[in-house]
Amino acid sequence: MRILLINTNQERWPIPAAPLGLSLVASSLRKAGHDIRVIDRMFLFSQKEEQRIFQETIKEFKPQLVGLSIRNIDNTCMSALRYYLPDIREVVTFLKTLTEVPFVVGGPGYSLFPVEALKYLGIEFGIQGEGEIACVQLARALTEGSSYEHIAGLVYQANGSYTGNPPQLIPDLEMMPPAAFDLLDYKKYIQKKGYIGLQTKRGCAFKCIYCEHPRIDGKTYRLNRGSKEVLEP
Ligand code: B12
Ligand code: SF4
Question: What atom of ligand 2 comes closest to residue 214's alpha carbon?
Answer: 3
Q: Is the CB of 215 under 6 A from ligand 2?
A: no
200, 208 Cβ separation under 8 angstroms: no
Give the CATH number of the domain where residue 12 resides.
3.40.50.280
What dihedral angle (degrees, nearest 10) is formed by the CA atoms of 21, 58, 99, 24? -10
Q: Is the CB of 35 under 6 A from ligand 1?
A: no
If one counts every other C-beta atom within 10 angstroms of the C-beta of residue 33, the result is: 11
**Cα dist from 71 to 59, 145, 155, 164, 232, whole Å:** 27, 30, 17, 20, 26
Residue 185's domain spans which residues?
2-197
Question: What atom of ligand 2 comes closest to residue 207's alpha carbon?
Answer: 3
Tens digit of each residue's pLDDT (9 = 90 or more) over 56-100: 999 999 999 999 999 999 999 999 999 999 999 999 999 999 999
Give the closest ligand to the alpha carbon of residue 197: 1
Domain count across the chain = 1
Please report whether residue 185 resides in a domain.
Answer: yes
Query: Distance (Å, rounded) from C-alpha 68 to C-alpha 103?
Result: 8
Please report whether residue 18 resides in a domain.
Answer: yes
Burial code of 146-182, b = ≥16 C-beta within 10 A, e = fewer? eebeebbbbbbeeeeeeebbebebbeebeebbebbbe
Please report whether residue 209 resides in a domain.
Answer: no
Please report whether residue 212 resides in a domain.
Answer: no
DSSP alpha helix (H) spans, 62-128:
85-98, 114-121
Residue 71 is which amino acid? R
Tens digit of each residue's pLDDT (9 = 90 or more) over 39-58: 999 999 999 999 999 999 99
Please report whether residue 133 resides in a domain.
Answer: yes
Q: Is the CB of 203 under 6 A from ligand 2?
A: no
Q: Is the CB of 214 under 6 A from ligand 2?
A: yes
Please report whether residue 83 resides in a domain.
Answer: yes
Please report whether residue 221 resides in a domain.
Answer: no
pTM of the model: 0.97
Atom 80 (ligand 1): residue with closest C-alpha? 72
Please report whether residue 14 resides in a domain.
Answer: yes
